[in-house]
A and B are shown apart, each in its own frame.
With several copies, the nearest count.
Chain A
């Protein structure tokens, strides 16, 4: 189950030897950092493969060695290297506490190695889980998604984005808040029917403009069966259109019919 540490080349030459303790030759640091997922991973490796004994670890050389790393770390993955330093510090602390008389140790919370061992065990479980996860057949590597094309004569239907009326209103209210353009325009239902009518009249005149006549009789713009209110709305719409110079009202002869057309 244990992964074999790849023997690596450094700058194409040096073959790194398997580490025998937490020392890592500074020139091999980068390679070691890439081979192991961190100090727990390295420690696990040392315990499993090298029969590494936390107790046997010499303290002084490690301290000297780790100082050298700091130099190397300036160039490479500093954060990761720092985690190895922390681990070395933990190990040294454990060792120093174990060297103390037994009574002094027991005053503390039990064996100082227990916490480290618990962490190592917990990490090993997850390391195995990750390896197993990697074995599960997965898309893109072991099984592949399939698809068929659509028939030659296939015509796609299109669903459009939905808009709610309140979204429209809040959009306009957003503008109102930003601008003063509407200061004097309290938009009322009556003015809206007028504006709607304005659009209708313009459309009617546009159609007429394509014919030879080019105008519409004033009276034709009114629909009598709309009742008085409808007539008023149309009239207001015509006035507003004239005011905005969107249409022209002409009379070809005195007392003749009023005619409406688009501006020439």
Chain B
């Protein structure tokens, strides 16, 4: 192999590791990447070793795992990268649905409240997913059971909920306008009068 050929061979193996979603074995490199090149398994192993050494001090290392070799970030950077990735994915974090916000608002303002009561007020079923999200987020907790048939759980907000919204107590939640001020009652009152 000429030096130029050898350089391209190394570059190709290096690039292949970077584009592959999965670890690559020597055998796989030979059949899927280098099928048109006259290279032996040993030559491929030599190139891999060369790359392992080349990346020894880099932010990513070429490491061997069960099914072959792959590039992975070095352990020393894990904390910084965890923060970075969370930041990147945050931009993708979905907004909470209206149903979730309404459920949370009802728990905050009407606690302790059962899921059935929330459903009665909202007029629609509350999905288990919403309750799960709110519980996982530690914004609501179960504080007991209502002594009615089925003994449904009673939900209330947590200290974390207050902390998140920078409140010291629930009484700091904005006061809600009475119905009349929302213009809904006005009409009916006027009609009654």
Contacts and interface: CB of A to CB of B under 8 A. Distances in A.
Assign chain A's interface to a size class: 35 or more
A95 B28 CA distance: 62
B112 A144 contact: no
8 contacts: A123-B122, A125-B177, A133-B101, A148-B72, A176-B176, A179-B122, A188-B175, A196-B169
Interface of B: 15, 18-19, 21, 60, 70-75, 77-78, 81-83, 85-87, 89-90, 93-96, 98-99, 101-102, 104-106, 108-112, 120-125, 137, 141, 143-148, 154, 156-157, 163-167, 169-180, 182-185, 187-188, 191-192
Interface stretch (A14-22, A164-172, A215-223): A164-172
B19 A168 contact: no
A130 B101 contact: yes
B166 A138 contact: yes
Contacts of A138: 164-166
B109 A195 contact: yes
Contacts of B83: 157
A181 B74 contact: no
Interface of A: 37-41, 47, 53-55, 79-80, 83, 87, 98, 102, 111, 113-114, 117, 119-161, 163, 165-169, 171-183, 186-190, 192-193, 195-196, 198-199, 202-203, 205-206, 244-246, 262-263
Interface hub of B60, B71, B144, B170 (most chain A Cβ within 10 A): B144
A145 B93 CA distance: 13
A199 B96 CA distance: 25
